[in-house]
Amino acid sequence: MRIVATLESNEIIQLEKNPPNGTPVARNGQYMVPIAEGVKVAVEPNSFILPSGAPNSVVARNFAGLLVQFPQYENILFNPLIEGADMDDLDPAGVLNEGSPITASHISRFQFGRGTAGPLPTGNAANSVAVLPQNDAPGFGLERPGVLVTDTIDVGPLTGGVGAMEFAVYWYVYRFSTTNDVRSSFGATAGLNTPAVRQALEVDQEPSDFEVFISINDGANFFPVGRLIPIAFCNPGLLIRLAFKNTNPDFKYYLAHYGLLF
Protein backbone atom coordinates (compact mmCIF):
# COMPACT_ATOMS: atom_id res chain seq x y z
CA MET A 1 0.00 0.00 0.00
CA ARG A 2 1.16 3.54 -0.62
CA ILE A 3 -0.06 7.04 0.09
CA VAL A 4 0.08 9.58 -2.75
CA ALA A 5 0.59 13.28 -2.04
CA THR A 6 1.27 16.48 -3.97
CA LEU A 7 4.79 17.84 -4.21
CA GLU A 8 3.47 21.39 -4.00
CA SER A 9 1.65 21.19 -0.66
CA ASN A 10 2.29 17.67 0.72
CA GLU A 11 -1.47 17.16 0.68
CA ILE A 12 -2.66 13.54 0.69
CA ILE A 13 -4.75 12.93 -2.42
CA GLN A 14 -5.21 9.16 -2.49
CA LEU A 15 -4.39 5.76 -1.05
CA GLU A 16 -3.68 2.89 -3.42
CA LYS A 17 -2.48 -0.68 -3.62
CA ASN A 18 1.01 -1.33 -4.88
CA PRO A 19 0.80 -2.33 -8.56
CA PRO A 20 2.76 -5.35 -9.80
CA ASN A 21 6.52 -4.85 -10.03
CA GLY A 22 7.53 -3.04 -13.21
CA THR A 23 4.11 -1.47 -13.83
CA PRO A 24 4.62 2.24 -14.68
CA VAL A 25 2.32 4.75 -12.97
CA ALA A 26 2.42 8.47 -13.83
CA ARG A 27 3.52 10.61 -10.90
CA ASN A 28 4.02 14.13 -12.29
CA GLY A 29 3.76 16.60 -9.43
CA GLN A 30 3.18 13.80 -6.92
CA TYR A 31 5.15 11.55 -4.59
CA MET A 32 4.51 8.36 -2.68
CA VAL A 33 4.83 7.37 0.97
CA PRO A 34 5.06 3.56 1.01
CA ILE A 35 3.48 1.72 3.91
CA ALA A 36 5.55 -1.15 5.28
CA GLU A 37 4.31 -4.67 4.71
CA GLY A 38 1.84 -5.77 7.38
CA VAL A 39 1.34 -2.27 8.76
CA LYS A 40 -2.12 -0.71 8.78
CA VAL A 41 -2.34 3.08 8.63
CA ALA A 42 -5.81 4.62 8.57
CA VAL A 43 -6.01 7.57 6.20
CA GLU A 44 -8.81 9.96 7.11
CA PRO A 45 -9.82 13.48 6.00
CA ASN A 46 -7.64 15.02 8.72
CA SER A 47 -4.61 12.78 8.09
CA PHE A 48 -1.34 14.54 7.27
CA ILE A 49 2.26 13.86 6.27
CA LEU A 50 4.20 16.82 7.70
CA PRO A 51 5.55 17.29 10.25
CA SER A 52 6.64 13.69 9.79
CA GLY A 53 7.77 13.36 13.40
CA ALA A 54 4.36 14.19 14.84
CA PRO A 55 2.79 11.07 16.38
CA ASN A 56 -0.34 11.34 14.21
CA SER A 57 1.54 11.83 10.95
CA VAL A 58 0.98 8.93 8.56
CA VAL A 59 4.78 8.71 8.31
CA ALA A 60 5.30 8.31 12.06
CA ARG A 61 2.35 5.91 12.31
CA ASN A 62 3.84 3.77 9.57
CA PHE A 63 7.15 3.39 11.39
CA ALA A 64 5.45 2.93 14.75
CA GLY A 65 3.39 0.12 13.21
CA LEU A 66 6.57 -1.44 11.85
CA LEU A 67 8.15 -1.41 15.31
CA VAL A 68 5.11 -3.18 16.77
CA GLN A 69 5.79 -6.12 14.45
CA PHE A 70 9.20 -6.64 16.06
CA PRO A 71 8.64 -6.80 19.84
CA GLN A 72 12.30 -7.64 20.48
CA TYR A 73 13.12 -4.00 19.70
CA GLU A 74 12.18 -0.96 21.76
CA ASN A 75 13.11 1.85 19.36
CA ILE A 76 12.97 2.88 15.74
CA LEU A 77 14.66 5.88 14.13
CA PHE A 78 13.69 6.82 10.60
CA ASN A 79 14.30 9.30 7.82
CA PRO A 80 11.32 10.01 5.53
CA LEU A 81 13.51 11.83 2.95
CA ILE A 82 10.78 14.38 2.26
CA GLU A 83 12.00 17.77 3.50
CA GLY A 84 15.28 19.59 3.06
CA ALA A 85 16.07 19.05 6.75
CA ASP A 86 15.97 15.30 6.12
CA MET A 87 19.01 15.74 3.87
CA ASP A 88 21.09 16.67 6.92
CA ASP A 89 21.09 12.97 7.85
CA LEU A 90 22.93 12.00 4.65
CA ASP A 91 26.70 12.27 4.25
CA PRO A 92 27.95 13.25 0.76
CA ALA A 93 31.53 12.71 1.97
CA GLY A 94 30.80 9.29 3.43
CA VAL A 95 32.78 6.20 2.42
CA LEU A 96 31.51 2.62 2.35
CA ASN A 97 34.25 0.46 3.89
CA GLU A 98 33.10 -3.11 3.38
CA GLY A 99 34.04 -5.76 5.92
CA SER A 100 36.58 -6.14 8.70
CA PRO A 101 39.30 -6.25 7.56
CA ILE A 102 38.18 -3.89 4.79
CA THR A 103 37.86 -5.65 1.43
CA ALA A 104 36.65 -2.68 -0.63
CA SER A 105 36.03 1.04 -0.18
CA HIS A 106 33.62 3.14 -2.21
CA ILE A 107 33.06 6.88 -2.15
CA SER A 108 29.56 8.33 -2.01
CA ARG A 109 27.76 8.77 -5.34
CA PHE A 110 24.13 9.76 -4.93
CA GLN A 111 21.67 12.56 -5.65
CA PHE A 112 19.77 14.43 -2.98
CA GLY A 113 18.33 17.81 -2.08
CA ARG A 114 19.87 20.67 -0.14
CA GLY A 115 20.04 20.50 3.66
CA THR A 116 20.01 23.26 6.23
CA ALA A 117 23.74 23.99 6.37
CA GLY A 118 23.38 26.92 3.95
CA PRO A 119 24.14 29.41 2.54
CA LEU A 120 21.69 28.47 -0.25
CA PRO A 121 18.01 27.80 0.45
CA THR A 122 16.98 24.43 1.85
CA GLY A 123 15.01 22.15 -0.44
CA ASN A 124 14.21 18.63 -1.53
CA ALA A 125 11.67 16.92 -3.78
CA ALA A 126 10.28 13.77 -2.16
CA ASN A 127 11.03 10.53 -4.06
CA SER A 128 14.10 12.18 -5.60
CA VAL A 129 16.89 10.87 -3.37
CA ALA A 130 18.65 8.27 -5.50
CA VAL A 131 21.62 5.91 -5.42
CA LEU A 132 23.28 6.51 -8.78
CA PRO A 133 23.99 3.78 -11.36
CA GLN A 134 27.38 2.15 -11.32
CA ASN A 135 29.90 4.00 -13.45
CA ASP A 136 31.66 1.28 -15.45
CA ALA A 137 34.97 1.87 -17.17
CA PRO A 138 36.36 -1.65 -17.74
CA GLY A 139 40.12 -1.90 -17.92
CA PHE A 140 40.74 1.52 -16.41
CA GLY A 141 40.07 0.69 -12.77
CA LEU A 142 37.35 3.33 -12.59
CA GLU A 143 34.34 1.18 -11.74
CA ARG A 144 32.33 3.13 -9.21
CA PRO A 145 29.07 1.81 -7.77
CA GLY A 146 26.40 4.22 -6.65
CA VAL A 147 26.71 4.66 -2.88
CA LEU A 148 24.64 6.54 -0.31
CA VAL A 149 25.99 6.73 3.24
CA THR A 150 23.96 8.15 6.10
CA ASP A 151 25.37 10.53 8.66
CA THR A 152 25.94 9.22 12.17
CA ILE A 153 22.87 7.83 13.95
CA ASP A 154 23.54 8.18 17.70
CA VAL A 155 21.47 5.58 19.56
CA GLY A 156 22.99 6.53 22.92
CA PRO A 157 20.15 8.81 24.09
CA LEU A 158 17.62 5.99 23.60
CA THR A 159 19.74 3.29 25.23
CA GLY A 160 20.95 5.06 28.35
CA GLY A 161 24.33 5.61 26.72
CA VAL A 162 24.95 1.87 26.51
CA GLY A 163 24.25 1.32 22.81
CA ALA A 164 22.64 -1.70 21.19
CA MET A 165 23.92 -5.09 20.04
CA GLU A 166 21.09 -6.13 17.72
CA PHE A 167 19.55 -4.15 14.87
CA ALA A 168 17.21 -4.50 11.93
CA VAL A 169 17.17 -2.21 8.90
CA TYR A 170 14.15 -1.28 6.81
CA TRP A 171 14.10 0.53 3.48
CA TYR A 172 11.87 1.08 0.48
CA VAL A 173 13.10 1.77 -3.04
CA TYR A 174 11.51 2.64 -6.38
CA ARG A 175 12.63 3.09 -9.93
CA PHE A 176 11.45 6.01 -12.06
CA SER A 177 11.41 6.53 -15.82
CA THR A 178 10.60 9.75 -17.66
CA THR A 179 9.29 9.95 -21.21
CA ASN A 180 10.52 12.63 -23.62
CA ASP A 181 8.81 15.98 -23.95
CA VAL A 182 8.21 16.34 -27.70
CA ARG A 183 6.88 19.34 -29.63
CA SER A 184 7.94 19.06 -33.22
CA SER A 185 7.01 20.42 -36.64
CA PHE A 186 9.45 18.48 -38.82
CA GLY A 187 10.95 15.05 -39.45
CA ALA A 188 9.66 11.79 -38.08
CA THR A 189 8.12 13.55 -35.06
CA ALA A 190 6.29 16.23 -37.07
CA GLY A 191 3.00 17.17 -35.46
CA LEU A 192 3.75 15.55 -32.12
CA ASN A 193 3.07 17.48 -28.93
CA THR A 194 3.48 15.11 -25.99
CA PRO A 195 4.46 16.02 -22.42
CA ALA A 196 7.19 14.42 -20.34
CA VAL A 197 5.66 11.90 -17.95
CA ARG A 198 7.49 10.79 -14.82
CA GLN A 199 6.53 7.19 -14.11
CA ALA A 200 7.09 5.25 -10.89
CA LEU A 201 7.84 1.53 -10.96
CA GLU A 202 7.55 -0.85 -8.03
CA VAL A 203 10.59 -3.12 -7.74
CA ASP A 204 11.87 -6.06 -5.73
CA GLN A 205 13.13 -4.59 -2.44
CA GLU A 206 16.20 -6.84 -2.37
CA PRO A 207 17.42 -7.11 -5.96
CA SER A 208 20.79 -8.66 -6.66
CA ASP A 209 22.29 -5.33 -7.75
CA PHE A 210 21.28 -3.37 -4.64
CA GLU A 211 22.97 -3.95 -1.27
CA VAL A 212 22.51 -2.40 2.17
CA PHE A 213 25.10 -2.23 4.94
CA ILE A 214 25.29 -1.26 8.61
CA SER A 215 28.19 0.10 10.64
CA ILE A 216 28.25 0.23 14.45
CA ASN A 217 31.57 2.12 14.65
CA ASP A 218 30.64 5.34 12.83
CA GLY A 219 31.62 4.09 9.39
CA ALA A 220 34.98 2.48 10.08
CA ASN A 221 33.57 -0.88 8.93
CA PHE A 222 30.29 -1.82 7.25
CA PHE A 223 28.59 -5.22 7.13
CA PRO A 224 25.83 -6.38 4.75
CA VAL A 225 22.34 -6.63 6.17
CA GLY A 226 19.08 -8.07 4.88
CA ARG A 227 15.83 -6.13 4.87
CA LEU A 228 14.25 -6.47 8.32
CA ILE A 229 16.56 -9.40 9.08
CA PRO A 230 18.07 -9.03 12.57
CA ILE A 231 21.82 -8.64 12.76
CA ALA A 232 23.69 -8.96 16.07
CA PHE A 233 27.19 -7.90 17.12
CA CYS A 234 29.45 -9.05 19.94
CA ASN A 235 29.84 -5.54 21.31
CA PRO A 236 27.23 -2.78 21.59
CA GLY A 237 27.30 0.03 19.06
CA LEU A 238 26.50 3.67 19.77
CA LEU A 239 27.33 5.48 16.53
CA ILE A 240 25.51 3.77 13.68
CA ARG A 241 25.61 4.41 9.95
CA LEU A 242 23.77 2.80 7.06
CA ALA A 243 24.96 2.55 3.46
CA PHE A 244 23.15 1.70 0.22
CA LYS A 245 25.03 0.41 -2.84
CA ASN A 246 23.84 0.19 -6.46
CA THR A 247 25.84 -1.93 -8.90
CA ASN A 248 23.39 -1.68 -11.79
CA PRO A 249 25.01 0.33 -14.63
CA ASP A 250 21.72 1.34 -16.27
CA PHE A 251 19.45 2.97 -13.70
CA LYS A 252 19.15 4.63 -10.31
CA TYR A 253 17.43 3.22 -7.27
CA TYR A 254 15.29 5.89 -5.59
CA LEU A 255 15.23 5.59 -1.82
CA ALA A 256 11.77 6.52 -0.51
CA HIS A 257 12.70 6.25 3.18
CA TYR A 258 14.60 4.07 5.64
CA GLY A 259 14.47 3.08 9.31
CA LEU A 260 16.66 1.52 11.99
CA LEU A 261 15.17 -0.76 14.66
CA PHE A 262 17.15 -1.51 17.84
For position 13, what pLDDT does the model report?
A: 97
For position 258, what pLDDT does the model report?
A: 98
Q: What value does the mean pLDDT take over residues 214-233?
A: 98
pLDDT tens digits for range 236-258? 999 999 999 999 999 999 999 99
Domain count, the chain: 1
The beta strand positions in the chain, using DSSP E, are 2-6, 12-16, 24-26, 30-34, 76-79, 95-98, 104-107, 110-111, 130-131, 146-149, 153-154, 164-178, 182-183, 193-194, 198-202, 210-215, 223-224, 231-237, 239-246, 253-261
> Domain range holding 238?
2-261
Could you tell me the pLDDT band of residue 191, with boundaries at 50, 70 and 90?
low
For position 193, what pLDDT does the model report?
A: 72
pLDDT of 137 above 90 = no
For position 181, what pLDDT does the model report?
A: 75
Q: Residue 191 contacts by C-beta under 8 Å, 6 or more apart in sequence?
A: 184, 185
The reply to whether the predicted model has a pTM over 0.85 is yes
Could you tell me the pLDDT band of residue 184, with boundaries at 50, 70 and 90?
low
Q: What value does the mean pLDDT take over residues 144-156?
A: 98
